[in-house]
Structure 1
Amino acid sequence: MAKSSADDEELRRACQVAVEGSSSSSSSSSSKIVMCIKVSKTRGFWGKSTRLGRGSNVAKPRVLALSSQKTTALLHVLKYSSGGVLEPAKLYKLKHLSKVEVISNDPSGCTFLLGFDNLRNQSVAPSQWTMRNINDRNRLLLCTLNICKEVLGQLPKVVGIDIVELALWAKENTPTVPNQANLRDGPVASVVTENDFKVTVEKDLVSQAEEEDMEALLGT
């Protein structure tokens, strides 16, 4: 199996350089990259299926990077310049992440969207992100959920994903992302350490769903 881009240290360093070189936000430039991964971006359409590579909706290569600093958690969207250098394209605050949804019309299960409640035009569907495989998708989504829980103390609505299967996958496939990055200042366990992954996924997602009703957690 080909190595995941989430394990590419050169990509991580390039993302960190791009984030630190951005002057758009002081919190962004001082954030530590926790995880980054290559994706394909397509434009979403409410109530319509999206076909990659058709018409004006051609898939575009992007890199999604998650970072945290104190009580701030960010999602960076980076694109490649004409010279092949990563540069910031968009920046989202995860405190506004209200929904994570896997697109049902993609039989591979590798395409999803992230809904943010502070977007100016809620009538415009958010971008859709397509991963190389399910393992990459699960790694990114689990890291996102763990950061939301650990740093922000909240979880977005999850749609189209079997939380129990996701938790079982996490137990068998603990990501190999380096664990030097802390989510807050001080000795706080990284979301990508084995113990924290198991505790967060099993207790906060599975047990809570069983105790408070799975449908309420998923928002379906």
Structure 2
Amino acid sequence: MAKSSADDEELRRACEAAIEGTKQKIVLSIRVAKSRGIWGKSGKLGRHMAKPRVLALSMKSKGQRTKAFLRVMKYSTGGVLEPAKLYKLKHLSKVEVITNDPSGCTFTLGFDNLRSQSVAPPQWTMRNIDDRNRLLLCIMNICKDVLGRLPKVVGIDVVEMALWAKENTPSVPTQRSQQDGQPVETTVTESDLKVTVEKELVSQAEEEDMEALLGTYVMGIGEAEAFSERLKRELLALEAANVHAILESEPLVDEVCSSVFGS
């Protein structure tokens, strides 16, 4: 997986500085482009419409309660990150990938507590699919593990994302530790930050069942003709069996009719 801005420690520290005093902990921060969704015929977003932003997921614990937030950060004229918008993830009701973007890197987040539901939500465009999956999986796992619910997902293959997560477990560099007097670089995954990015949205048993089911039906072009011939033979055999059953029952039908009319 290509290096992501989610692994940028400088960006994370800038986000933490921007929310200093809130007692919130940054779980994930990543660069995005914000737009209102005006796409050209070429399938590219107009550059004059896109604005650089940083999306940061943060959490705050108080006793046994944990609150989760999505923060939108923007750059001031001096190039310093500052808070621009705050959403509570408990109100996240919908995650939808925009079909107008052929890359699949653009999505919207719908919140059910916004005052004006008639205004289209902003669209967020990631650098690549890896960044998109990483952010959305992080959001969905927070919703599932911390809030106990999942938002509606539209335009995303959840199983495909779960498989992607198994192959792309991101790590976040942390402070250096001392071992035998020498500094050693240690890493933790985002699951150690109470967000299980790799956690399966589909259980292992369910995944194996789906693979077995798909294996029954998915076939190559060369196998299609053989399957067609087999189906024809089975249909002919079934038809012959039905005809044979009808012929076998004919004497019984005649006997019943004779009994009825004879009486």
Say which of 87, 99, 102 aligns to 2:97: 102
Structure 2-normalised TM-score?
0.65
Equivalent residue for 2:126? 131
Q: Look at both structures and tell me which one has the larger radius of gyration over its CA atoms.
A: 2
Equivalent residue for 1:83? 78
Alpha-carbon distance in structure 1 between the residues aligned to 2:103 and 2:78: 32
Q: Which amino acid aligns with 2:17?
A: V
Aligned residues: 187
CA contact (8 A) 1:44 1:126 kept: no
Equivalent residue for 1:150? 145
How far residue 69 of structure 1 moved from its aligned partner, in angstroms, is 1.3
Alpha-carbon distance in structure 1 between the residues aligned to 2:174 and 2:191: 6
Equivalent residue for 2:10? 10
- Between stretches 169-178 and 115-124, larger displacement belongs to 169-178
Closer, same or farther: CA 154–133 of 1 in aligned 2, 3 Å: same
- Between stretches 191-200 and 60-69, larger displacement belongs to 191-200
Q: Give percent identity, aligned residues only.
A: 70
Closer, same or farther: CA 12–93 of 1 in aligned 2, 3 Å: same
Matched, 1:39 2:32: yes
4+ long deviations beyond 4 Å: none
Q: Which amino acid aligns with 1:30?
A: K
Structure 1-normalised TM-score?
0.76
Alpha-carbon distance in structure 1 between the residues aligned to 2:52 and 2:89: 22
Alpha-carbon distance in structure 2 between the residues aligned to 1:122 and 1:150: 27
Alpha-carbon distance in structure 2 between the residues aligned to 1:121 and 1:148: 23
Contiguous gaps of at least 5 residues in structure 1: 22-28, 181-188, 211-220
Closer, same or farther: CA 200–168 of 1 in aligned 2, 3 Å: closer
Closer, same or farther: CA 175–132 of 1 in aligned 2, 3 Å: same
Contiguous gaps of at least 5 residues in structure 2: 176-187, 211-263
Equivalent residue for 1:112? 107
Matched, 1:160 2:155: yes
Alpha-carbon distance in structure 2 between the residues aligned to 1:202 and 1:170: 11
* 3-state SS, counterpart of residue 143 of structure 1: helix
Q: Which amino acid aligns with 1:6?
A: A
How far residue 52 of structure 1 moved from its aligned partner, in angstroms, is 2.3
Q: Which amino acid aligns with 1:38?
A: R
How far residue 58 of structure 1 moved from its aligned partner, in angstroms, is 1.1
* 3-state SS, counterpart of residue 118 of structure 1: coil
In the TM superposition, 1:14-33 aligns within 5 A as 14-20=14-20, 29-33=22-26
* 3-state SS, counterpart of residue 67 of structure 1: strand
Alpha-carbon distance in structure 2 between the residues aligned to 1:191 and 1:3: 15
Equivalent residue for 2:199? 199
Alpha-carbon distance in structure 1 between the residues aligned to 2:197 and 2:91: 23
Alpha-carbon distance in structure 2 between the residues aligned to 1:109 and 1:133: 8
* 3-state SS, counterpart of residue 20 of structure 1: coil
Alpha-carbon distance in structure 1 between the residues aligned to 2:83 and 2:20: 10
Alpha-carbon distance in structure 2 between the residues aligned to 1:179 and 1:102: 32
How far residue 196 of structure 1 moved from its aligned partner, in angstroms, is 3.8
CA contact (8 A) 2:36 2:123 kept: yes
Q: 1:112-159 deviations in whole A, cap 9, x for unaligned?
A: 000000010101010000000000000000000011111111100000
Matched, 1:61 2:42: no
CA contact (8 A) 1:110 1:131 kept: yes
Q: 1:43-64 deviations in whole A, cap 9, x for unaligned?
A: 148xxxx96226xx61000000
